[in-house]
Chain A
């Protein structure tokens, strides 16, 4: 015998389903919270129900637009439209069973980009069948996987706040000393010591997925995946006409699944590039707030940029001011006679600590080495005029 649900419960559960259908992850526990919350604020006021849902069912600001639309539609349909019915009826597809209508899973700024962009969405099979092998053949792919295990232990350490037991005299470890002294009836004969331990620095990978990077981006995405899944404290973003965080998508250990999910998430594969704008968004929304502070930031890009070079330079400068080390990986660097002619590249170079190649497995090995360099920033790689901005 199933207990009869109250009207409030029915509505709450129904709305949670709609929200799930629209692409928001809603765990069951939160639905129970929502039911309780609705019980507390009552069903009469639209605002009350709205906020009750928002603070129990949502956990990311990105989901707010989806929530707003779903709520408006749901409220109109199921609850007596009170006097507050000035909400525009929006044509919302509430399709729960089918998953083809999931355009809603990137709410954010919508597709408000004012530049013409090619928006391609690859299905998993397409990504795997066609694209990836462009740059790497089977052997190389295998090598690349090995490289990743190397990357796993790479990353310059920094002194940690936490103290560890040490053999040499440093700061006294009173806790251990007291324990030890119990044996001697309270006489601290042997002193114990502690020292600051070491922690890995955060690694932030920014991968350019624009059209000009096409032959390399797929292979590099594997590199990025290995880095994300193999180590903690790694963050990954895709740069194109917009900025997409793909850390979560790539964190699956199964490479196929991870790459598929990342490809689905990135809506602007092989579109144009707005490096400066993407970096600005990265700096504003993630980097300067803390993610890039003291971190090793790796930009994987050929530096072709349709935006304003000055804007790119400005953002690179901001990035370099807070990061521990900025590495730029450019697959074109190895091209004979290559000079950083791409305007974006030329603008960014003064703010790059290491400028490395990125066209082959060997180059990626070199990258892993550079990431792991323990010392503080070095002079620039050969071939790059020293910028002199770093004091």
Chain B
């Protein structure tokens, strides 16, 4: 980043400039993660903007974004490094064809194979062996989907920022990457890993913040509509839905409405664009049932005007 931040407010300002509006808690957590050089674990409902944090940090710092999407069964070959076996094989064949193989002998030939040029760096090794002044931003997304074993390995990497490859030696870094981990909490992340990290539980934004987020992310949405959309989403979140809409949905919805050329919410528009906010049939029904849509539009208008 251009100059390292000295207060959480600096962080908030910089992130806002780059299209992300953090609240005080998140700004402080990010500030601390940067100044203490610790990984930051973000937990929260889907769609509250956890992954986005890493993206905006990358935009701000100019560091490359390296993303590791976790899934069940992810292992070292997919997360750390692998050898490029096809190229190794070709190399062997070439050595054989040119007669080099005979001159070198098996031992030397094998030595050639485990050279860095045959190494495929995956996300973790890539982030540690970055060889630049600007540390990359390493996003370890949805860590709760990976297996326990992988978590244990990650713990090792994140405590020392070094990776050992038996054939080559130890890879390490002088400037550790900025690490953001996210979790949807489908299971508990192991305590040992949590201890290594700073932790922040990401909440749905407040009404005013959400309005500002919509204005920031979808600039061609006019202020009154942004307020109405935020108010409508806020109303939906209280309706005990399977999946209360997150900020991502709010932005989607505002974008959709803008694309339709809508400048004010009304029942017909809400009805026809409901799929942009609520992605469960049951949720849509629930909102419709309780005489809901008229209700939501009414609330949206009141809330939208209140401070406007």
Question: Measured between alpha carbons, how far is A361 from B7 in the docked complex, in Å?
Answer: 63
- Is the CB–CB distance between A40 and B186 below 8 Å? no
Interface centre among A37, A47, A55, A181 (most CB of B within 10 A): A55
Please measure, in the bound complex, the distance between the C-alpha atom of A93 and the C-alpha atom of B121, giving whole angstroms. 54
User: Closest Cβ of chain A: how far from B110's Cβ, in Å?
Assistant: 6
The answer to whether B92 touches A161, judged by C-beta atoms less than 8 angstroms apart, is no
In residues 190-238 of chain A, which contact B (Cβ within 8 Å)? 199, 232, 235
Which residues of chain B have C-beta atoms less than 8 A from A54's C-beta? Answer: 25, 29, 199-200
CB distance from B242 to the nearest CB of A (A): 7
Q: Tell me how far the C-beta of A172 lies from the nearest C-beta in chain B, rounded to whole angstroms.
A: 9
Within 8 Å of chain B (Cβ to Cβ): is A27?
Answer: yes
Smallest Cβ distance from B299 to chain A, in angstroms?
Answer: 23
Q: Which residues of A contact B145 (CB under 8 A)?
A: 290
- B124 beta carbon closer than 8 Å to chain A: no
Q: Does B133 contact A (CB under 8 A)?
A: no
Contact B35 A55 (CB under 8 A): no
For residue B93, which residue of chain A has the nearest CB? A186
B184 near A289 with CB under 8 A, answer: yes
Question: Which residues from chain A contact B8 at a C-beta distance below 8 Å?
Answer: 41, 48, 51
Q: Which A-chain residue is minimally distant from B41 (CB atoms)?
A: A59
Instruction: Judge if A56 is at the interface, Cβ distance under 8 Å.
Output: yes
Bound state CA distance, A235 and B46, in angstroms?
22
Question: Which B residues lie within 8 Å of A376 (CB)?
Answer: none
B106 within 8 A of A: yes
Evaluate contact between B106 and A182: CB separation under 8 angstroms.
yes
Q: Are A40 and B35 in contact (CB under 8 A)?
A: yes
A61-B201 in contact (CB<8A): yes
Whether, in the assembled complex, B185 has its beta carbon less than 8 Å from a beta carbon of chain A, the answer is yes
Q: In whole angstroms, what is the CA distance A64 to B106 when docked? A: 62
Stretch at the interface among A28-36, A98-106, A107-115, A132-140: A28-36
- Docked CA distance A285–B198 (Å): 23
Q: Closest CB of chain A to B114's CB: distance in Å?
A: 11
Residue in A closest to B75 when the chains form the complex, CB atoms: A162
Residues of chain B within 8 A of A318, CB atoms compared: 242
Cβ B194 vs Cβ A59 within 8 A: yes
* B198 in contact with A56 (CB, 8 Å): yes
A36 to B37, CA, bound (A): 11
Instruction: Decide yes or no whether A284 CB sits under 8 A from chain B.
Output: yes
Are A185 and B106 neighbours in the complex by a CB distance under 8 Å? yes
Stretch at the interface among B59-67, B82-90, B210-218, B261-269: B82-90
What is the CA–CA distance of A25 and B194 in the complex, to the nearest angstrom? 12
Q: Is the CB of A291 within 8 A of B187?
A: yes
Could you say which residues of chain B place their CB within 8 Å of the CB of A288?
Answer: 242
Contacting B85 at CB < 8 Å: which of A160, A178, A186, A290? Answer: A178
Candidate in A37, A183, A284 with the most chain B CB atoms within 10 angstroms:
A37
* Nearest residue, chain A, Cβ from B101: A185
B141 interface residue per 8 A CB criterion: no
Cα separation A148 to B225 with both chains bound (whole Å): 60
Interface pair B24/A51, CB less than 8 Å apart: yes
Contacts of B72 in A (CB 8 A): 160-161, 199
- B36 contacts the other chain (CB 8 A): yes
Task: Return B46 CB to nearest CB of chain A, in Å.
Answer: 8
In the complex, whether B73 has a CB less than 8 A from a CB of chain A is: yes
Q: Does A177 contact B (CB under 8 A)?
A: yes
Q: Tell me the A36-90 residues at the B interface (CB within 8 Å).
A: 36-37, 40-41, 47-48, 51-52, 54-56, 58-59, 61, 64
A174 within 8 A of B: yes
Q: Does B307 contact A (CB under 8 A)?
A: no
Do A290 and B186 touch across chains, with their CB atoms under 8 A apart? yes
Residues on A with C-beta less than 8 A from B101 are 185-186
Which listed residue (A30, A40, A232, A248) contacts B32, Cβ 8 A? A40
A187, CB-defined interface residue at 8 Å: yes
> Nearest Cβ in chain B — how far from A69, in angstroms?
17
**In contact, B198 and A182 (Cβ under 8 angstroms):** no
Q: How close is B183's CB to chain A, nearest CB, in angstroms? A: 10
A-contact bits for B48-59, CB 8 A (1 contact / 0 none): 000000000000
Distance of B253 from chain A, by nearest CB (Å): 22
Selected from A27, A41, A235, A314, the residue in CB contact (under 8 A) with B28 is A41
| Chain B 91-134 per-residue mask, 1 if CB under 8 angstroms from chain A, else 0 | 01101100001100010011001000000000000000000000
Judged by a CB distance under 8 angstroms, whether B161 is at the interface is no
A48 and B96 in contact (CB under 8 A), knowing A58-B199, A178-B113? no
Which of B8, B41, B46, B74 has the most A CB atoms < 10 Å from its CB? B8
Residue A286 interfacial (CB < 8 Å) = yes
Given contacts A27-B195, A55-B198, contact A161 B32 (CB under 8 A): no
Question: CA–CA, A37 to B28, complex, Å?
Answer: 10
Cα distance A249–B303 when bound, in Å? 45
Contact B96 A185 (CB under 8 A): yes
* The one of B88, B144, B199 that contacts A55, using a Cβ cutoff of 8 Å: B199
Check A186–B28 contact: CB distance below 8 A.
no
A56 touches B96 (CB 8 A): no
Instruction: Report if A175 contacts B (CB, 8 A).
Output: yes
Q: From A317, which residue of chain B is reached at the shortest CB distance?
A: B282
Complex alpha-carbon distance, A37 and B75, angstroms? 34
Residue pair A186, B109 in contact (C-beta under 8 Å): yes
**A54 CA to B8 CA, complexed, in Å:** 14
B160 at interface by CB-CB < 8 Å: no
Asked if B204 is at the interface (CB within 8 A of a chain A CB), the reply is no
Chain B: minimal CB distance from A54 (Å):
7
Residue of B nearest to A287 (CB): B186
Most chain A beta carbons < 10 A, residue from B28, B36, B89, B198: B28
13 intermolecular pairs with C-beta atoms under 8 Å apart: A37-B36, A51-B25, A54-B200, A55-B29, A61-B201, A162-B73, A181-B89, A185-B101, A185-B109, A186-B89, A186-B92, A199-B72, A290-B144
Beyond contacts A58-B199, A178-B92, A248-B188: 9 other A-B pairs, Cβ-Cβ < 8 A, are A29-B195, A52-B32, A55-B40, A160-B73, A182-B110, A185-B109, A188-B89, A286-B186, A291-B186
> When A and B form their complex, which 10 residue pairs have the shortest distance between CB atoms, in order from nearest?
A290-B186, A186-B92, A161-B73, A174-B85, A51-B28, A55-B29, A59-B194, A186-B96, A61-B201, A55-B198
